[in-house]
Structure formats: structure tokens, C-alpha cells
Structure 1
Amino acid sequence: MKPFSRADRVGELIQQVLAENLNKSIKDPRLAMATITGVKMSKDLKVARIYFAISGGKEKIDSALLGFRSAMGYIKRLLAGEMDLRYMPELKFFYDESFDYGARIESLLKSLNTEDGKNHTPVETE
């Protein structure tokens, strides 16, 4: 079994620090309901792709992206104080669409209703 790479460990640390401090020390109301879902680091540790989830539609997503961009300097200082890295990575924020995809799949499965046959059309035999 292959051990985790340094990029994976740094990404997990960034996710942990951001998740702990997102609602405690970042007071931007646009980020009030945001949740950090994952961080993917480049192999050279120069770029961190930070994924977040938020409920409320497209307007909330765009608002949260603006909130993260405006708090970028503060977030970098926060991470620099917690981590011992030679270079602070460039932070890029992305909306995590996996929750929306999962909710869509779930609603499609519920709409099938195959257990009681409401939406199941029988095949006619001759």
C-alpha cells in the first residue's frame, strides 16, 4: 500500500485549518454557511484547489466565491501561521458540485418509485 504523498498531507492540513477557522475567525456573512469539502494540492505544493459547498443556489455560490476572494489575504496569513511551509501556495476556490450531483441522482431514483409500481408501465404480452 502506497503511503500518502506530501501533497495529500498538506492538502488535508489546509482543509482542517480552514474548516476549523471558517466560522470562528472569518466574519464575512457570504461565507456563513460555506463548508470546506476538500483540498487538492499540486505536486510541487504551489497551488491549492480548495473545494467548498454551500446551499442556496447560484447566487449564494457566486457570493461565496467573492467572499473567499476578498478574504484571501487573511486566509493566507491564517494558514501561514498554522503551517510550516517554505512557500505559501496559491489558493484557488471552486464550488464542489458533487453534492448537487448526488441530490439529483437521489431525486431521480425516488421518482422511479419502482417498489409500488406507480411509475412502472407493464409490458403487454401477446
Structure 2
Amino acid sequence: MVDHARARRLGERIKVLAAEALERAVKDPDLGFVTFTDVRVTPDLTHAKIYFTVLGSEDDKQLTIDALERNRGRLRGEIGRQLGVRVTPTIELLLDEIPASAGALAELLAEAKRRDEEVERLAKDAKPAGDADPYLKPKAQED
């Protein structure tokens, strides 16, 4: 029987336990500033995808990714010890690309807003190219 709500709750618990295990058990000097953003657990509770972000340059990110991969077994062991389920899910660590794409999207929205303000400013000072009132009016009837 598949219980999606239980998988979601287990994912939230794994996210907290992974952060605690990273702070307590992993003593790797290459580990940068890591934030676990989301955990997706399969409905059968056997596999968990842990998404994370890293603060820093591309070199810092790569060093941190390598350090996390080296310590994946230690993280799984710490999570399994405190999780309290019969089978500890296997974990897969994935770099979360959403913050980077959200930043790019925010920049595009700011650019669109700036252009809209520029168009509005130009429209305010604009004058019609022809007559001020371009609509045809009926001719006045002469008596």
C-alpha cells in the first residue's frame, strides 16, 4: 500500500536529520556552506533524493559536492540511526538548480520592469504624428 503523505513526512524528517548529521558527523575540511532544500522519498520509502545548495564559487561547489559524495554512507548511517524505520532509504545527493534559475528569472523580471518604465516615460512625453484627433468626423451640413 502506497502512502504519499508518509513519504512526504519522512522526507521532511530526513532533511532535518541530514542537516544535523552534516553538522555533527561529517568533519570534512572541503565541506562548504550547505543547505538542504528538499527531500523526495519514493512511495515505497526505499530511496530518497536529497536536494542541496552550496554558497560560494564554482570551485567551492565542486569541492563540497565531492565531500558530500565521499561522506554519503556516513550521512545515510546517521539518518538511519535516528529515523526509526525498518529499512533506511538509500540516498542520492543532487545539487538544486532552482535558486540559480530563480535568480535569473528575477533578473529578467527586473529588466522587463525597467523597460516598461522607460516605455511609460516615453509615452507620457509623446505627441501624435498626425492630427491630435485622428478620427473622421461627419461634415457639418451647410444651410
The TM-score normalised by the length of structure 2 is 0.72
5+ long unaligned stretches in structure 1? none
- Count residues in correspondence: 124
Hey, what does 1:68 align to over in structure 2?
68
- Give the match's secondary structure for 1:92: strand
- The answer to which of 23-32 and 45-54 deviates more is 23-32
Identity across matched positions, percent: 24
Larger Rg: 2
RMSD of aligned alpha carbons: 2.7
Hey, what does 2:139 align to over in structure 1?
none
- Give the match's secondary structure for 2:30: helix
Distance 2:98 2:51 in 1: 10
* One-letter amino acid of the structure 1 residue matched with residue 105 of structure 2: I
Alignment check: 8 A CA contact 1:61 1:95 kept:
no
Distance 2:77 2:21 in 1: 12
The TM-score normalised by the length of structure 1 is 0.81
Q: Deviations over 1:73-118 (max 9, x none)?
A: 2112211221111111111010111100110011112223146418
Hey, what does 2:109 align to over in structure 1?
109
- The answer to which of 95-104 and 63-72 deviates more is 63-72
